[in-house]
Amino acid sequence: MELTTKLFSVLVLCAIVLLHQTTAQETRGKELIQKVCTTAPNRNLCVDVLSSDPSRSPDADLKDLAIISLRVAAKNASGMLTDAKRLINNANLNPDIQQGLADCKETILDAESQLEDTIAALLVDSNSDAQVWLRAALAAIDTCDASIPGDDDILSVKSIVLRKLCNIAIAINGLLNKPGLLNKPTLLNKPLKFYPFM
């Protein structure tokens, strides 16, 4: 009889755990976006970005949200490249500034490529590789920032936005690695740790 009671207790516990995991996996789309963005330091940007894909966002799971955020980040990096190329061609610039812009352009090109590599890693369910590529992209953004003087020019402002977009992707990738975090009540008021903005 005691064995039956223990077995029943274990089965009930397993059922509760499975139900808990199934509920976490069923959350999709707008509800999931709201949950994910409670962990982001810039909630409004997070919601805007993750809701921006009309075909994927409404029924998105965590992987879809990660890919959406990465595509937005890659598009932002592409815009930075266009701006860098335009600025480099300004003949009135000091040669040192032009060189800094050229260096920045190369590192943002690397960041854009690393963001694409992150998407590829997620598509084959290699979340740890995705995290590595994301960190590399953030390092490239830091290198770009160090290459250009000041912090109020168009590239510096865009690099801050790009870093925020990458941090959204990092938060989602962290949730892919530990989906149970979405269901912890203490998480709702506590942002995850992110890469610093400056």
What single-letter amino acid sits at 32? L
Q: Is residue 158 domain-resident?
A: yes
The distance of Cα 110 from the centroid of its chain, to the nearest Å, equals: 17
Q: Is residue 127 domain-resident?
A: yes
Higher-confidence position of 40 and 123: 123
What are 46-79's pLDDT values in tens digits?
999 999 999 999 999 999 999 999 999 999 999 9
Q: Are 154 and 83 in contact (CB under 8 A)?
A: yes
114: exposed, middle or buried (C-beta count within 10 Å: 0-12, 13-18, 19+)? buried
Domain extent at residue 98? 29-189
Q: Is residue 9 domain-resident?
A: no
Q: Is residue 14 domain-resident?
A: no
Alpha helices in 89-179 (DSSP H): 95-123, 127-147, 154-177
Q: Is residue 20 domain-resident?
A: no
What are 91-122's pLDDT values in tens digits?
888 888 889 899 999 999 999 999 999 999 99
C-alpha distances (whole Å) from 140 to each of 10, 128, 179, 187 are 50, 19, 28, 30
3-state secondary structure of 190: coil
Looking at the 3D structure of the chain, how many domains does it have?
1
Q: Is residue 104 domain-resident?
A: yes
The distance of Cα 10 from the centroid of its chain, to the nearest Å, equals: 38
Q: Is residue 24 domain-resident?
A: no
What are 12-53's pLDDT values in tens digits?
444 454 554 444 457 899 999 999 998 777 899 999 999 999
Q: Are 83 and 158 in contact (CB under 8 A)?
A: yes
Asked if the model's pLDDT at residue 171 lies above 60, the reply is yes
The CA-CA-CA angle for residues 69, 73, 76, to 5°, reads 140
C-alpha distances (whole Å) from 184 to each of 24, 42, 177 are 11, 20, 15
Determine the Cα–Cα distance for residues 25 and 17; give it in Å rounded to an integer: 12
In this structure, what CATH number is given to the domain that contains residue 133?
1.20.140.40
Mean pLDDT score of the chain? 82
What pTM does this model have? 0.78
Q: Is residue 106 domain-resident?
A: yes
